[in-house]
Structure 1
């Protein structure tokens, strides 16, 4: 049995295959998932990694051994799995390691209607059951069947965002050899979009670049293609296509906070006075704009299970994260990079102004501050490094400190958050300030302490 402490994270399961996550563990996970959820059936999907089919097959053995049925949706994105869970009202399991390198794989679990399973909402219980051994089921085994949900997923998204009347757009999409290459053609079918595809061939070895668009180097091909083709917009999806990053018509990277603000404004137009959830790393512009539009901003910690839980508790219509995860009440409170992309395309293509503003101008009002982006530092002792940073800043005049999620330090015209990764031995820094000079000074001071530079 694998070392479960290594692979159970705050809101999913992830590890190197087979050293940390193997078929036996996946089978035990399937059995434990049925025991914890009480499910009579489970829907599964998987990404394009070579190890995904063996793992999802083993998981299904565990599910059926407990008397529950398995509905296999096959290849799909994580948000397609959430659609399947929501539309079928069944617990679900998505086998993917998202943006992690090819040697990794994992599983994202949800209860019926795509309700989250995190460390405080069932994941710890599943881990304990796997560790102690899942009791055998003395009854008739379940069955396995297949169901195509991709077309239903695509049609459902297009009922949530109407793009039928938009002006024709040229859109470059970089799928990074991930699941966007499978879902984008079906979702875009019939829309007034001229699609320029990059790396749509499914390949879990990621031969062109990592399917991790939060890293700027993985967006360079998309930026170049947008400029080369004179496109209106570029979209980049991660490996399991639940996150979407945006590049404007100049080939410049758009902050996910600006996308959060734009979608929030659109949702508040439909639901005046509603709550919008944002995590503590999104730009200060996001809660400012939500308030300006008559909405109520709700701050929460990073991570999809935390965002979903807060949205359910508050009835929020939308939630956004700095990592380009976007969550929608009318999508079972689940995250969908594709749905966020459709909102941006609708905003860009359905402007009353003539001529229509390019994306860079459309988003200018949502981008108010200078931001560092996420900067990773490999640190042997994350707690000690964060403690040194806290000691350096705490007590300064006008400085506030909170530890809702990692370390957040702020002043009137700047703030930063330093938090450990849930999946890698890294400290992640995000800093923001009123201007580039202040942001750079704060960023560099924190990095000097974390990386022990004199």
Structure 2
């Protein structure tokens, strides 16, 4: 295929094809030419006979999704368009229909970004080690194929089926709850009304920013940043709500806020969901990434489960879940993965687990979650660093000879002690070093955090 698009330049392709997705700015790094070429290469590399295509509310998403479909059809494979969707809705379509899939979204990234999340049938992930690098290289080579018999195009609305499946996995049937939902102008504005309407009288929903708007006029749809939770926290207090839910742009992540407006750590929610899964599946394996609180493996072990530690990122989590037949996996970033949801992540399903647990009790959310929250954490602290490798090497040298300290490089650098731990890793999507740390008490955590930050930020 010939094109004058700079997005097909090999240097650009290496920049935007990340560890487990494609992500870049529009139109400088991503455009319709790239989407079309990627769709064609997707069929060439993976041999997909049918591809489900979904997209989020970003202004550039519909046109790029259409171009991707053109590339698939030219290669001789069929396309099923599900239209506007959350990422976990696309995963549902892939699993339920048994087709490969692509979701056009840049998740929590600012408005100028877009991206592609690719999967095999059954929502199996496609990362750099599992086909994404080959797809990138086919695009770079300009090998665009045109089949003698082009594929077909059809449309399917899977939203109702998606909502029904989630509520089969986690029905919410107890006492009535008042729930504030901040969709951040993202795809939860589409999915939440359908899901919560099916719950019925148990949930009284207060909507925030449900208008689909990929320019994010109210705040960035990235609830891991405390500033983006402020509006929800105020609303929960003003409404005297039982719980607040905040979703990211493509609604595959969910953060929760208690009745006092306090943000609940995703690690704490991971521990709660793990406990509920282990009650249904005694002795089961639970996955947690290496930045999750120590409370998660402790609680899993206490409840008779088997905790397994893994790298950050959905393709790594899903692969480990497949290897171990884990029933559930949780990440510090608000991603929650379920074996019965094709090992895919679903922010809405995680929210339903929290609502189900809360509706079964007579206590407020803060009291319910207290038993799963054992250690103070720093949250994720990002720093822009010119030479990331040099900083990691310096930290490693600083702690190499300290008594009681262990280090590993499963993902970035993790430094561990009986009383604390911290991890420093490079972002897969942005030019940042990310620091997460935890201590036995607030003072210990703060001391470890400040020491690590002093090294990171002096470079």
TM range (shorter): over 0.9
**Unaligned runs of at least 5 residues, structure 1:** none
Q: Secondary structure at the match of 2:307?
A: strand
The Cα RMSD (Å) is 0.8
Q: Residue deviations 1:386-437, cap 9 Å, x none? A: 1111111121111111000000001110000000000110000000000000
Q: Indicate the residue corresponding to 1:394 in structure 2.
A: 400
Q: Secondary structure at the match of 1:363?
A: helix
1:178 aligns with 2:168: no
Q: Indicate the residue corresponding to 1:136 in structure 2.
A: 145
Q: Indicate the residue corresponding to 2:292 in structure 1.
A: 282
Q: Indicate the residue corresponding to 1:37 in structure 2.
A: 46
- The equivalences for 1:39-438 within 5 A come to 39-163=48-172, 165-191=173-199, 192-351=202-361, 356-438=362-444
Task: Quote how far apart the aligned CAs of 1:381 are.
Answer: 1.0
Q: Which moved more, 1:36-45 or 1:238-247?
A: 36-45
> 1: CA distance between counterparts of 2:430 and 2:115?
14
Q: Residue deviations 1:281-326, cap 9 Å, x none? A: 0000000000000000000000000000000000000000000100
> 2: CA distance between counterparts of 1:172 and 1:44?
30
Matched pairs, number: 448
Q: Indicate the residue corresponding to 1:450 in structure 2.
A: 456
> 1: CA distance between counterparts of 2:28 and 2:175?
51
> 1: CA distance between counterparts of 2:15 and 2:385?
17
> 2: CA distance between counterparts of 1:280 and 1:434?
17
> 1: CA distance between counterparts of 2:145 and 2:381?
47
The answer on whether the counterparts of 2:74 and 2:147 sit within 8 Å (CA) in structure 1 is no
> 2: CA distance between counterparts of 1:106 and 1:225?
31
Query: TM-score of the superposition, structure 2-length normalised?
Result: 0.97
Q: Secondary structure at the match of 1:366?
A: coil
Q: Secondary structure at the match of 1:190?
A: helix
Q: Secondary structure at the match of 2:256?
A: strand
Q: Indicate the residue corresponding to 2:32 in structure 1.
A: 23
Q: Secondary structure at the match of 1:107?
A: strand
> 1: CA distance between counterparts of 2:408 and 2:50?
42
Task: Quote how far apart the aligned CAs of 1:134 are.
Answer: 2.4
> 1: CA distance between counterparts of 2:313 and 2:168?
27
Q: Residue deviations 1:337-388, cap 9 Å, x none? A: 100100000000012xxxx110000010100001000000011111111111
Task: Quote how far apart the aligned CAs of 1:166 are.
Answer: 1.2
> 2: CA distance between counterparts of 1:135 and 1:361?
58
Q: Secondary structure at the match of 2:67?
A: helix
Q: Secondary structure at the match of 2:299?
A: helix
Q: Secondary structure at the match of 1:241?
A: coil
Task: Quote how far apart the aligned CAs of 1:135 are.
Answer: 4.3
The answer on whether the counterparts of 2:37 and 2:144 sit within 8 Å (CA) in structure 1 is no
Q: Indicate the residue corresponding to 2:5 in structure 1.
A: none
> 1: CA distance between counterparts of 2:158 and 2:249?
19
Q: Indicate the residue corresponding to 1:4 in structure 2.
A: 13
> 2: CA distance between counterparts of 1:7 and 1:81?
21
> 2: CA distance between counterparts of 1:105 and 1:188?
28
Q: Indicate the residue corresponding to 2:4 in structure 1.
A: none
Q: Secondary structure at the match of 2:198?
A: coil
Q: Which moved more, 1:239-248 or 1:181-190?
A: 181-190
